[in-house]
Structure 1
Amino acid sequence: MNNVLTDQADTGYRLAEQKAAQYFTSLHEQLLDNTYTIVLTQDIHLWQKKHIQPFSWLSFLSPRQRKPESRDAHRYIHWLNVTGKLDDYLDRSISYIYMRDLGKALDSSETQKRIQRVVQDTKAYFMRSNTTHSKEQPDYISLAALYRWAQKENVETAVIWVINKLKHVASNIPKELDAEQAQRKLLKIILGVVLHVNDDMNDETPQAERSERLDAAIRLGYSYGLTYPFIDDLLDSQALTAQEKEQYSLLIRNALLTGIVPDIGEWKGANLKVIQYVHAELREAFEYIKNYQRPETQRTFFEQSYVFFQSQEIDRAKKLSNANYSNEELYIPIIIKSSSSRLIVRSVLSASADEGFDLRTFYYGIYNQLADDFADMFDDMEEGAVTPYTYYLKYRDLRPDLINPYELYWAVISYLIHEVYHSDAKTREVILDRAINGLKRCKERLGQEQYNEVMNTFASGQPEFNRLIQQMVRKADDVDFLDKLLRDQVIMQLQNDKQEKQDFLDTIRTVREQINIELQISKPGGLPEMKGILIDAANYSLQGDGKRLRPILTWVMGVREYGLHESSIIPLLRSLEYMHTASLIFDDLPTQDNASTRRGRSTLHQVHNSATAELTGLFLIQKAIGEQSSLNQFDAATVLTLIQYSAEKAEDMCMGQAMDLNAKGKTLTLEQLNMICFYKTGIAFEAALVMPAILAQVKGVEIASLKKFAYHAGIAFQIKDDLLDLEGDHRVLGKPAGQDVRNNSSTFVSILGEDGAKKEMWEHYCLATDALNEMPKPISFLRHLLDYIIGRER
């Protein structure tokens, strides 16, 4: 390792230590002379006038005015709006974000204008979401909403890129990490970087420049945010052995000192596969950030990155079994790392120096860190992690010199309000709102008894001040924050999505296995030889590794959504797969697509001959009609309606294939391609949805929404097929890649290009989502089907 670079880095860290030591000394002096409680008592008396309302029997008795649980975001936002509290709620929430994440001073008139603009935009979004999703709890955090924003800002390519990146991160997070928390942190960092860039622009910023900067912000946010799950969390977890952590830390240190990510080298440990993925992602992220830097900011970026990493390493190396850490050893690395985590954002963006931002962010960091450590102290204690709270809990009786971190937290609040933000009334309001909200959430989480024990441990040294604080915790109102609500919603949604996705995959697997058993056509004795050959040929095609999406979809809609008896719709499931397999046999023929493999095996005409393949396809179509006519547990008129509908759709599919064959070698318009795609692919999705609806005799309005969903989902499916044909692995696809080019077929990729095809796929994803939102009740399976369609690899 280059000694000069190491010396420079160590010098930078020592300067950060000196600055942090001066700040810590100032805070310690406030603790010793107890001035902070006197000042804060006056602040709280001013603050409480807005937050403690006189008791009203009317509000107690009126259920319409009763405050709902904030965990129910939809009802809570609605209640805030009805009671006239939404504007204040958003104002304090956005103001807090401007202080914490953007390093702004709230006494700036320009900052206030920007805050109010964001407040109004946020309010409009919530009101629109509540109206649009009136039948269900609105999905405030959705891929469709994100993509619509991307279209508005002309950053679709960056958003598609980051969605794919986030999907791969989620699937590669080691099981020892809290996956939902890791993803939440990453999303939060991306949003924070985008906010930084957005705040630097105004109405006069040209749209092209705005789009370019937001595109970079999304990529930079992901690249920087990746360090949280894959450096901070990974090194804190038990996923790696001690030896592996040492190797990994050395890799990171070398990268920050040299500006070059070293190769993994010889890895000593069982987690090489995890490290290979993490190393590749972090190397790509590191190179992107480095290349984005201006020459004059690159050194600052590396210095700040090293200071951040080194402070984390020093803090991480502490052992709870060591009873001899000084107060300085406990707090100075925390001051450094908590401020560095946000100071580095502007460095990542290659932004020019901002002394005001740097100072405010430096002093503000430990406030957030102490609040977070207070909330997590019992989890940290269980894991043996050293934080000011866990160390104080363990050694307070043995070490009277130890600083009480809860008291220091209030000293930091006093310092921020009066020394950093110059006694600004708005700042006092927001910071005290946040502090009391944190204690309220802690009390709710722990329960009254355990909360009292915590307060007896940490607050007994200032009884008068603590009585005032606890009075505020009991009585003060209107101290909730949007970021906490969204944090809870994100975690809950990630957990629910994870469970729903698992249910979706389990359903596909179990129903697919059942359908595979039911599909095989029996061959009783005494059959003519040629019919036996056709049955064998049909079973060969049916035995391929098919996805069975269409009959699975019919099963889900029929059994789960409409309550039809499982055994009663088995003939319908068979008919759908027979019809679909027949269409594939015809598609693969030399006179049509001339495919050599299908579903991972040789196509039927390769195994037999074209004539046998053609006859087998006709045989399967007739079997499908026979299965539909055997739906004898349903009303005859209803079954007749279903057969008529099925026949019409089969005609449409034939027309779609004919249109596709006729289009070979021709350049199609997007409208023509959409039409062909719908008749070839979308019709089959529609039939899978509509046929069980016909049997269940659902209303025409709902069938119309199903058709709209099928139209857009079918086109999205076909676009994904076209993209896979361009970039897929034939071993995963089960058929040769590049077939569209060889067949001279017009595809979404050939017409729109790869990026344009991806954008068109996401447009149809959004339109299909809109159709789902029109349904009488949410159908999570269809939502996950959409995610599967655009995320699949075969």
Structure 2
Amino acid sequence: MNMSKDLVENADICYQFAEKRAKKYFESLNEQLSQKTFSATITKDLQSWKQKHIHHHSIFSFFNSRKGSSSSQGYYPYIKWLDYTGKLDNYLNRSIMYIFMRDLGRALHAKETKTRIQNVVEGLKKYLVDSTTADKGIAEPFSLPGLYRIAQKEHIESTMIWLLEKLANVSNNIPKGMDAEQAKRKLIKIIAGVIMHEVEEMDEGISAEERAKRLDEAIRLGYSYGLTYPFIDDLLDAQILSAKEEKQYADLIRTTLITGSVPELGNWAHENKDLIQYIHSELREAFDYIKSHQRPDTIHLFFEQAYVFFQSQEVDRNKDLSNPNYTNEELYIPVILKSSSSRLIARTLISAPLDEGFNNRTFFYGIYNQLADDFADMFDDLKDGSVTPYTYYMKYHKERPDLINPFALYWTVVANLIHHVYQSDRLAREVILNRAINGLKRFKEKMGTKKYNEVMDLFFSGYPKFNQLVQKMVRKADDVDFFDKLLRDHMMTTLKKNEKEKEDFINTVETVRIQINRILKIKEHNKSALLNQPIIDAANYSLEGDGKRLRPIMTWVMAVNAYGLKSSAILPVLKSLEYMHTASLIFDDLPSHDNASIRRGRKTVHQVYNVATAELTGLFLTQKATEEQANLDQNQFDAKTVLRLISYSAKKTQDMCKGQAIDLGSKGKQLTLDQLNMMSFYKTGIGFEAALIMPAILAQAKELEIEALKRFAYHTGIAFQIKDDLLDVEGIEDLLGKSVGNDAKNNSSTFVTVLGIQEAKKAMWDHYCSAVEALQDVPRNTTFLKQILNYIVNRDH
């Protein structure tokens, strides 16, 4: 697809045209500000507005109000409270109206818009009420199971898998000095915005296949566009690149937008070469995808908006807070341009039909959002030395009386939107004023009353009566919270919590793994020359390999952290589990089985010793495992419980042998999916089950809990095996610690050979979701088990 020649030849003219429009808008706002009409206009609006938001509280409503704001309560409690008090409908209605106004550029008074908003509200309410009901089994928003289950309903599982892999990859490549959680949040938010545009363009009678195709494209387009935020805007703002790197990188982006083609990176002779090579590759892929999905008659619109967005960001980024001479136009026009073009791009991405109403409303609306965001972040921006209308005014307002007060301009924009852009529409006024008061409430809560009052004294200087009215609204008005803010807070809390849980998981695994490695070595007690055979040496050789020790680690965490058992008392169980697992690997690697040459990063036992020794070593380890279980301290556990444990363990060892026999009998045969699932559970899932059920037996857990843990182990084991099969095809031998391609060499039936790579991934994620859902019936902290699952599906070895 060829790039529009007009843009190639006239990029600067395109930007100048946008600047001219922004300048005209700014002059209009400045004129309204100079007339000081905004305070009288908004005062009148607030007098009407407050009747719905300031109440004379009865005793009942007083107790209701004590529940506090959404930010103080949290996601689920706030949704429950809103539903209980009958406020959920109004809450969702204003929230969805705001999204339709902000993201979709809709006029709220239009009949079709009202109908659509009501339909969205009804669907969202049902989902939220269900998700806050404990016995419904609804997955948490933004959790992997939640996203994947939604994708299954829309028949876009492959797209979701692609996205999850991309998000994980981006997160792993975010350099220090940038916020990985914020990057993921922005990406998800932008993808959601593009999806909303696509959904609103779909006809009611669209087929499921066409809907899935368009959702797939919207997700990929949204991701491709969203990638520019962490890898262009945030990267250039983070002071990670040197000055030379920043210029070279910015020139590369500009050239791409002007020519419509990504230049080769060339020789990047700077310290961040690896980072830039990765980013260049990702952005090239993203850019090419966007470009290939533009219509020939509208492609120039995308490139025009993209160039305006990038150039306005660059103009702003190159400002220096130490320069006291910027004009008001220099401060505000880039803000108008970047704030409007960022949202205009979202609609051009999907090649939607031209809509002048959308373009105009979005253009005028952008600065409202940007000024609100800059107000909320002004102290962080000041600390970073960033130039925004607020930081610049705070620094220079005393010596520059010509500077426009950005907060006064913000309220001027509010008045302009309500009465000029939205033609004094009642619904628009309601939503915009709700948002404005809510923003001040959140800022006050964030900064504290003292700091907040200082800010108000500065920015409301010259408008004492208006300030008094606004502050009364901030103190007394209720029902002004918004769902997107609640969702944002919940998303950030969830992302940070997940990151903390991941760190704790890694630390726990490493700490417990070291402890387990210390106790595994088997000592030689009989020194008779006749009995001095290499069996124990071979056993220790295999045990000393670089094993993950997942099973005994799971046992330790469940026994000690979940059930409160003493760590010293369960050491025999930890050893027995690893002995049984290691024995299974020795048998699995034999020439009569998989004939593997590498295991745990070293030669297999039968290659170092011989086949007969390997066979005897595997048998020796299974019996050693039983001996360890029999040595459990009967001062800690009664004999009946220990016997139950040994009986359970013996049965599971038998089942593992059956699984291996099934595997051997399947060589050269094409297995069904059900047969593969059964074989995987017997070979792999049983090991996970034993790791969970053995401590549960010792703790005398209830049968319902044990059954839930078995379901978790079943799905976890199969997910683990599917990942192993995928790694045998896609993995890297040095990372795996074993050779790849064994399944094909042995003519084995695997999830990949039966389903193909993409369908195998779908099956893995389905088992992942089922495993997480099984944990809902475990009445304990299951964070570690969820992290085990995340590790299993995301591991590279």
Mapped contact 1:716–1:765 kept (Cα < 8 A): yes
Inter-partner Cα distance in structure 1 for 2:760 and 2:64: 54
Match of 1:32 in 2: 34
Three-state SS of the structure 1 residue aligned to 2:711 is helix
Match of 2:112 in 1: 110
Deviation of 1:247 (Å): 1.0
Deviation of 1:660 (Å): 1.1
Inter-partner Cα distance in structure 1 for 2:375 and 2:82: 28
Inter-partner Cα distance in structure 1 for 2:70 and 2:589: 59
Deviation of 1:482 (Å): 0.7
Mapped contact 2:524–2:536 kept (Cα < 8 A): yes
Q: Deviations over 1:16-57 (max 9, x none)?
A: 000000100110011011122222111111111110010323
Matching residue within 92, 95, 106 for 2:94: 92
Give the AA of the match of 2:127: Y
**Mean alpha-carbon deviation: is it higher for 259-268 or for 537-546?**
259-268
Mapped contact 2:7–2:304 kept (Cα < 8 A): no
Match of 1:569 in 2: 570
- 1:198 correspondence with 2:199: yes
Give the AA of the match of 2:410: Y
Distance 1:63 1:646, change over 3 A: farther
Match of 1:657 in 2: 660
Please show how residues 317-328 of structure 1 align to structure 2 within 5 Å.
317-328=318-329
Inter-partner Cα distance in structure 1 for 2:71 and 2:17: 47
Matching residue within 8, 11, 24 for 1:9: 11
**Mean alpha-carbon deviation: is it higher for 673-682 or for 527-536?**
527-536
Mapped contact 1:375–1:442 kept (Cα < 8 A): yes
Mapped contact 1:130–1:138 kept (Cα < 8 A): no
Inter-partner Cα distance in structure 1 for 2:232 and 2:457: 36
Match of 1:647 in 2: 650
Deviation of 1:524 (Å): 4.0
Mapped contact 1:223–1:288 kept (Cα < 8 A): yes
Deviation of 1:528 (Å): 4.0
Q: Which runs of 5+ in 1 are unaligned?
A: none
Three-state SS of the structure 1 residue aligned to 2:713 is helix
Matching residue within 679, 684, 700 for 2:682: 679
Mapped contact 1:646–1:687 kept (Cα < 8 A): yes
Inter-partner Cα distance in structure 2 for 1:381 and 1:66: 31
Match of 2:128 in 1: 126
Mapped contact 1:220–1:289 kept (Cα < 8 A): yes
Please show how residues 166-177 of structure 1 align to structure 2 within 5 Å.
166-177=167-178
Mapped contact 1:65–1:83 kept (Cα < 8 A): no
Mapped contact 2:69–2:481 kept (Cα < 8 A): no
Please show how residues 21-100 of structure 1 align to structure 2 within 5 Å.
21-61=23-63, 70-100=72-102
Give the AA of the match of 1:642: L
Inter-partner Cα distance in structure 1 for 2:674 and 2:8: 61
Q: Deviations over 1:398-434 (max 9, x none)?
A: 0111000000000001111111111110010000000
Inter-partner Cα distance in structure 1 for 2:496 and 2:329: 39
Give the AA of the match of 1:111: T
Distance 1:777 1:254, change over 3 A: same
Three-state SS of the structure 1 residue aligned to 2:756 is helix
Mapped contact 1:71–1:485 kept (Cα < 8 A): no
Please show how residues 215-614 of structure 1 align to structure 2 within 5 Å.
215-524=216-525, 526-614=527-615
Deviation of 1:7 (Å): 4.4
Inter-partner Cα distance in structure 1 for 2:324 and 2:266: 38
Q: Deviations over 1:91-149 (max 9, x none)?
A: 111111111111111111111111111111111111111113699x9833211111111
Three-state SS of the structure 2 residue aligned to 1:296 is coil
Inter-partner Cα distance in structure 1 for 2:445 and 2:139: 25
Please show how residues 708-719 of structure 1 align to structure 2 within 5 Å.
708-719=711-722
Mapped contact 1:392–1:405 kept (Cα < 8 A): yes
Distance 1:65 1:520, change over 3 A: closer
Inter-partner Cα distance in structure 2 for 1:93 and 1:202: 24
Inter-partner Cα distance in structure 2 for 1:503 and 1:753: 35
Q: Deviations over 1:232-253 (max 9, x none)?
A: 0110112111111111101111
Match of 2:146 in 1: 145
Three-state SS of the structure 1 residue aligned to 2:133 is helix
Q: Deviations over 1:311-365 (max 9, x none)?
A: 0000111000111100000000110000000001122222221111111110010
Mapped contact 2:257–2:303 kept (Cα < 8 A): yes
Give the AA of the match of 1:737: V
Distance 1:529 1:247, change over 3 A: farther
Please show how residues 681-700 of structure 1 align to structure 2 within 5 Å.
681-700=684-703
Inter-partner Cα distance in structure 2 for 1:787 and 1:497: 10
Give the AA of the match of 1:731: D
Distance 1:284 1:65, change over 3 A: closer
Percent identical across equivalent pairs? Answer: 61
Mapped contact 1:304–1:344 kept (Cα < 8 A): yes
Mapped contact 2:201–2:352 kept (Cα < 8 A): no
Matching residue within 763, 780, 783 for 1:780: 783
Mapped contact 2:681–2:714 kept (Cα < 8 A): yes
Inter-partner Cα distance in structure 2 for 1:692 and 1:531: 35
Mapped contact 2:597–2:603 kept (Cα < 8 A): yes
Give the AA of the match of 2:725: D
Deviation of 1:266 (Å): 2.2
Give the AA of the match of 1:143: L
Give the AA of the match of 2:765: W
**Mean alpha-carbon deviation: is it higher for 181-190 or for 322-331?**
181-190
Mapped contact 2:572–2:629 kept (Cα < 8 A): yes
Matching residue within 11, 18, 21 for 1:19: 21
Inter-partner Cα distance in structure 1 for 2:243 and 2:8: 24
Q: Deviations over 1:542-578 (max 9, x none)?
A: 1111111001110110011111101111110000000
* TM-score where L is the length of structure 2: 0.97
RMSD, matched Cα = 1.7
- 1:707 correspondence with 2:710: yes
Mapped contact 2:7–2:300 kept (Cα < 8 A): no
Give the AA of the match of 1:285: A
Match of 1:615 in 2: 616
Q: Deviations over 1:691-730 (max 9, x none)?
A: 0000011111100100000000100000111111111111
Distance 1:778 1:200, change over 3 A: farther
Three-state SS of the structure 2 residue aligned to 1:363 is helix
Matching residue within 758, 763, 768 for 1:760: 763
Give the AA of the match of 2:404: I
* TM-score where L is the length of structure 1: 0.98
Give the AA of the match of 2:506: L
Give the AA of the match of 2:20: Q
Give the AA of the match of 2:31: E
Q: Which runs of 5+ in 2 are unaligned?
A: none
Distance 1:358 1:448, change over 3 A: same
Three-state SS of the structure 1 residue aligned to 2:10 is helix
**Mean alpha-carbon deviation: is it higher for 266-275 or for 473-482?**
266-275
**Mean alpha-carbon deviation: is it higher for 326-335 or for 202-211?**
202-211
**Mean alpha-carbon deviation: is it higher for 173-182 or for 381-390?**
173-182
**Mean alpha-carbon deviation: is it higher for 342-351 or for 217-226?**
342-351
Inter-partner Cα distance in structure 2 for 1:61 and 1:11: 61
Mapped contact 1:59–1:65 kept (Cα < 8 A): no
